Structures are given as C-alpha cells and as structure tokens.
Structure 1
Amino acid sequence: MSTEIEINRPAPITVSQGVSTFEKGDDVKEAINTLEAGNYIIIKDVYSTGLVLLKALKTYLDKKIANESFQEQRAYRAAYHQLSNRILLEIEDHKVTVKKAPAIGWLEKLYPEMGKFVLSFPQVQGLNSSWQWYTQGISVPALRNKVHPYYGTYFPTRFDHVTLFDNWLKRYEGLKKTAIDVGVGSGILTFQLLKYGFQKVYGTDSNPNAIVGLTAFMGDTVLSRKIELDYAPLFGKFDAPTELIIFNPPWLPETNENDHHDEAMYYNEHLFPDFFAEAKKHLLPDGQLVILFSNLAQITHFKTAHPIEKELSLGERFRLERCFKKRVKEASTHTKRDQYWRGSEEVELWVLMHKVSL
C-alpha cells in the first residue's frame, strides 16, 4: 500500500534570478538586506556559516518586530520563515555539499531519483531533526516502546493529553473489539489502544507520510494484523460502526492564509461539522466518541467558539457523557517565547455518546 502513495517532501527550489553567495566573514547586514529584497543567498563553504546567518537574522527580527503576545509571535515566525527560506544549500548525490554538514538519510529515501538540487537551509534543518527523531526514536510516557515518526508526520512534543487519555483508558469498561483512530499521525493513540487490549484499530490520516511511515514501521509484525490503515480524510473506507472513536484534532482555528498549510496545527471551518456528521454514522448505539482537545484558542484571545461545545449546544447528534481536564505543565524556563497563557492552558478529554431521543 505504501508504495502506491506519493509522500510529501520539501519541494526543491528553482531559482530563476541571480543568487548571491555567503561565506564566513562576509557582511551579515548586506546579506539580510539581500534577503529582504526578495533575493536568494546560497551557503558555499561550511554548514555552520548558515547557522551564523540564521542567528543574525533572528537578532535583526528581534529588534524589528515585537515578539510578546501570541499574535505577535505568529507574525515574527512568519517573517522569519519567509526570510530564512531564501537561504539555500546544494544537495548532490543525496548529501549536502558544504563542509561539516550532517548526514541525513531522508535525502536518499525521499529523493531517490534526484542527483543534484537545492533546498532552503530551514528545510535541511527540518530534515536533519526529523532524521534524528526517526532513527533514535521518541520516548512517550504512556508507552513501553519508542515511536519513530516518519518525516512530515505529526508527533506531540508535550504529552499532557496522552497521559489524560491513558488515565481514561485504564478505567474504560466498554467493548474492545474495534476502534477508529481518526488522524492516526505517528500512531501514539493507536498504540495506547492496543496496550489496553483492543483487538483491532482502524487508523486514517489525510497525510500520506503518516500512512507510509506507520506501514513501514509495522512491516509484517503482529501490529500489521491489529492495525489497518487508510490514506483518507476522516473515516475513509471504514464503514462498519465501532464501539470507540478517537479523535485528536488540531487545537487552533485557521486565522490567515498560511495556516491551511499546517493541518496538524490548524483546523478549518468545515472540519468539526464534517467530523461530527460522519461520527454519528460510525458509532454504535452504546459507543463512545473521545476527543482530545485544548482551551488554547480561547485563552490566546481567538474570537472563536469552542467547536465541541458548539456541537453539543446544537443538541442534535451527541450528548456529553464526561469531560476531563488537565492543567498543562509550565513552559520551559529555557524557551525564549513569552508563553504567559500556559498558566491557564488545559488539555481536555471529551466523552460523547449518541443523543437519546425521547
């Protein structure tokens, strides 16, 4: 199945205009002016030269753009993303050509047919970080074994909601024949379901990399007999009603045109109405619908309704069985972002059931 799916990968950059070079000792201010003018710069000598330029770019933006409120931080990140992605690196024979560059296995796995091409420095950084996570694995508090997220697949960097779900599963007394994990991602919630005795889990995802990565991870092991995957939005090909549906959707609404590129972080106006309509059809009469969410949008001053509360207020499809909340851990003292809202951020586990008609 995985070989039939075209995976997402950073698109090689085609430069139709002149490109400046940047090496150690070159004028940083001049380089930043070049980037702001919409031109590209290619690093030619040592990998660390690119890191120096990126650091200088951050220092420049720190002085130029306010970076305190949640909205200001988003604007800052957007400006940094735009300018930093004009800094380029050459790739040849699946290796970054500058000296002392990291060895990145994704360059061969994701670009087997390409001999020489160009990526932006942040793209290479992302590939490198992803390769480390993939090869070394990530420890998850609720799981015995590490997960190995495939490139471009969402995985959590905080596990408060995973712990909340694990605590709920410990007390779950329903049937354990089947479950559907909508938006399976790196498979963490699915692995938790198997940990607590579910016989079969159906996982869907609209991200091809999630399906390819999990398929490769399972191979022909026992997991491949307990997990069935489908590259599709929402419920995909899985039509049979189930006793448990799990959904860990994005926690923030789209607010600008750039947000729709990150479906793991931001949801559009159609996601929740479509999901609830389909979930109604796929849930057995006594089944439970579990949604992992957060109050992040409300406490960061987005003027938006809570999508689950909105669904319940309609009173048409589901009723609230229980809602569990857990205060998240304080932000790291090492972070440079002002995360004042973290003191009131809570992850939420909503348990819904079919509304009983009187």
Structure 2
Amino acid sequence: MEPPIEVGADLRPEVAVRLASQGVRLLWRDDFPAARRLLAAMGKRLPTPAPDFYRYRQARRNRARVLGMVLVEVGPDLRVDLPRAPDVTAAFRAAGGAPGLVPLTELLGMLSAYEWRVKGVPVAALGARIHPHYGVFAPTRQDYVSLVTRAPLSRVRTAFDIGTGTGVLAAVLARRGVPEVVATDISPAAVGCARENLRRLGLSQVRVLETDLFPPGRADLVMCNPPWLPGAAHSPLDAAVFDPGSRMLTGFLAGAAAHLTSGGEAWLILSDLAELVGLRSRSDLLSRIEAAGLRVADRLDAPRRRHPGTDPLAKARSQEVVSLWRLHP
C-alpha cells in the first residue's frame, strides 16, 4: 500500500474527492475542525444515491470508501496531536481501537458511540436508560421494544432472547416478571454490553452467554429480533441491519421448535422493510415459518413511523410495519 500524502486546510474538497476516489490516502496535518469541514464538503460533492435500492447501497459503500481515505494519526498515548482536537482517549479505548493512522470517519463514529454509551438511550418500557457500546446497535427506535411490552405473556418461567445486542429485550422480559431469562449473542462486544446493562438495571435473573443462536435446553418462550434485511454487512453496525443469506432468521426458525417446552411459544420480531425494497416476499417468510414446523398463532403490529429523507430506504421506512409474530409448533 502506498504511503498517505500529508494534507491540510489548503486542500480543496473537489481535489480531495478526486484523489480519494483514486485510492490515495490523505493524512490530515492541520486544524481538527477543518478536517470535519472537509469531510462535509467532500460528501456534498459525491454523487446522489440512485433511487434503486441496490444502486443506493452501492453508492453508500462508495461514499464510505472515499470519505474513509481521510486519515488522522492517533498516537501511542491514544491522543490526536492536532490543533483543537478533542480528547479521544476514552472513546478510542472503549471501542478497542489501536494507535496509528485511523480514518476520520471511524474516529468520529467512535466519539459519537461513546457519547451514547455515557449518556445512554432512554427506554420508556424500562423507565431507565440502555447504554450501547461501539458496534452494538442502539435501541434508539422503540417500536419493536413496545411490541415485547404488550405481547401476551402468561405462565412463562423461562425465556431465551436470541441475538440480544444491548440486552434491552431481555431486560423487558425480566421486568415483566419472567423468572429466568437467557440472552445470547455471537458478538463479544454485544455480550459485554448486555451484561453491563443488565447489571446496571439490577436484573440478576438474566444470564448472558456468548454463543451462536440457542443456548442448551428448552424455554417456555424463545424470542429473536434478527437483522431485518437480507444482504451483506459492510460494517459492524451493518451487522445489526443486514442478515447475509437470511442466516439468523433461518437459524432461529429452524431451531425454535426444538428449544421450546410443551406449550411454548416463539416470538419473531421483524419489519416488512425487506418486502418493501424487494429483498424478500411475504410468501417467502411464511414458507420459511411453515418449513420450520411452526404456525402463526397471532401477529402484533407497531404503528408506522414517519421517516425524513428522500433516499429509497427512507421512503420505504415511511410505509414500514414492524411486527411480532407469535409462532407455535
């Protein structure tokens, strides 16, 4: 890889876009706020995403690649030695970053994520805050959480929360009185995040395990809120939105019946966003449920939400419905 070229405030945004598009890395050596302004100016000069969802994703990937060519240096002391640079030490350490040349976009993401981690996200269903870690999807939208708060729940002694993330849904089940909840996630970052949140909430009846999908044993309720869109994930946060080959959805449905007690119930929390952008049909989802030996006993829908913006995803989300599917063997 060619070494980066050192740049500063005299670099024009159109030149930066041209160089970055050619794969030239740009090491910023000037005022830190000016670097943020350069990123914003470069973004305005990149092509507008196309109305087609696939080309929209391609344009977003290209945008991330180009803007990711602007680098800053993080020293061994985890500091950025630039005029007016913020103290990034705590955020960088929390995100598990390593000293060296770091894309400015990535560093700004770490700072933003750390702010969420410190302040927390208020969750009305808990009357408390959930503190997401870097790379773990934050429960900033509450529609799927509200579905878990109002779904019928009786005679449930044990529950599994598959793909727990921040642990927010496991916490809701515990607060609703489920005596024993086992939350799982394949991501070590998510496991650490969930454990910290549940400990902060004082919910000792929830155990968090690092495992792929189901823990050993059976439960009266098995629940999963998988990524809502089939497709490749290109970043840690993408992994909370995109499920390559519908692996998690398929795995949950295929294993649910075998992990239910007699009379138990599975909850699948899923948006119809994939249907709206043409990535999956409703008949395909129902076929997957049937092939797993499950039947739909009921479905609870959350109200539609307004989404600002004109990109394909924003338009689809204005029509999106998030549902909790109650499934029986």
Fold shared per TM-score above 0.5: yes
Matched, 1:342 2:324: no
Structure-1 residue corresponding to 2:269 = 292
Residue 293 of structure 1 and its aligned partner are, at CA, apart by: 0.3
Structure-2 residue corresponding to 1:11 = none
Q: 2:213 aligns with which of 211, 217, 234?
A: 234
Residue 305 of structure 1 and its aligned partner are, at CA, apart by: 5.6
Query: Which AA in structure 2 matches 1:143?
Result: L
Residue 79 of structure 1 and its aligned partner are, at CA, apart by: 1.1
Aligned-partner Cα distance in 2 for 1:295–1:258: 22
Aligned-partner Cα distance in 2 for 1:47–1:118: 15
Q: 1:243 aligns with which of 195, 220, 237?
A: 220
The answer (yes or no) to whether the contact 2:230–2:244 under 8 Å persists in 1 is yes
The answer (yes or no) to whether the contact 1:260–1:268 under 8 Å persists in 2 is no
Deviation readout 1:232-282 (Å, 9 max, x if unpaired) = 1101xx32211011100011011x584898321111333333222221111
Structure-2 residue corresponding to 1:175 = 155
Query: Which AA in structure 1 matches 2:28?
Result: I
Structure-1 residue corresponding to 2:166 = 186
Matched, 1:134 2:117: yes
Matched, 1:125 2:104: no
Aligned-partner Cα distance in 2 for 1:310–1:261: 29
Structure 2 residue ranges without an equivalent (≥5): none
Residue 18 of structure 1 and its aligned partner are, at CA, apart by: 2.6
Deviation readout 1:275-329 (Å, 9 max, x if unpaired) = 2222111101101100110110111122556654122343x61111101222321
Query: Which AA in structure 1 matches 2:155?
Result: L
Matched, 1:147 2:130: yes
The answer (yes or no) to whether the contact 2:222–2:266 under 8 Å persists in 1 is yes
Query: Which AA in structure 2 matches 1:242?
Result: A
Aligned length: 325
Aligned-partner Cα distance in 2 for 1:155–1:167: 21
Residue 147 of structure 1 and its aligned partner are, at CA, apart by: 0.5
Structure-2 residue corresponding to 1:98 = 82
**Residue aligned with 1:90, SS:** strand
Q: Call closer, same or farther: CA 1:109–1:347 in 2, change over 3 Å.
A: closer
The answer (yes or no) to whether the contact 1:182–1:246 under 8 Å persists in 2 is yes
C-alpha RMSD over aligned residues: 2.4
Q: 1:320 aligns with which of 296, 314, 319?
A: 296
Aligned-partner Cα distance in 1 for 2:315–2:297: 32
The answer (yes or no) to whether the contact 2:163–2:185 under 8 Å persists in 1 is yes
Matched, 1:74 2:49: no
Deviates more, 1:129-138 or 1:22-31: 22-31
Aligned-partner Cα distance in 1 for 2:92–2:271: 36
Aligned-partner Cα distance in 1 for 2:284–2:125: 27
Aligned-partner Cα distance in 2 for 1:299–1:222: 40
Structure-1 residue corresponding to 2:40 = 55
Q: Call closer, same or farther: CA 1:99–1:341 in 2, change over 3 Å.
A: same
Query: Which AA in structure 2 matches 1:349?
Result: L
**Residue aligned with 1:146, SS:** strand
Q: Call closer, same or farther: CA 1:306–1:99 in 2, change over 3 Å.
A: farther
**Residue aligned with 1:198, SS:** coil
Structure 1 residue ranges without an equivalent (≥5): 1-15
Structure-2 residue corresponding to 1:210 = 190
Q: Percent identity?
A: 23
**Residue aligned with 2:123, SS:** coil
Q: Call closer, same or farther: CA 1:258–1:307 in 2, change over 3 Å.
A: farther
Q: Call closer, same or farther: CA 1:188–1:307 in 2, change over 3 Å.
A: farther
Deviates more, 1:117-126 or 1:297-306: 297-306
Residue 220 of structure 1 and its aligned partner are, at CA, apart by: 8.7
Residue 182 of structure 1 and its aligned partner are, at CA, apart by: 0.1
Structure-1 residue corresponding to 2:20 = 35
Matched, 1:253 2:230: yes
Structure-2 residue corresponding to 1:265 = 241
Query: Which AA in structure 2 matches 1:68?
Result: P
Structure-2 residue corresponding to 1:3 = none
The answer (yes or no) to whether the contact 1:272–1:307 under 8 Å persists in 2 is no
The answer (yes or no) to whether the contact 1:251–1:265 under 8 Å persists in 2 is yes
Matched, 1:201 2:181: yes
The answer (yes or no) to whether the contact 2:72–2:104 under 8 Å persists in 1 is yes
What's the TM-score, normalizing by structure 1?
Answer: 0.83
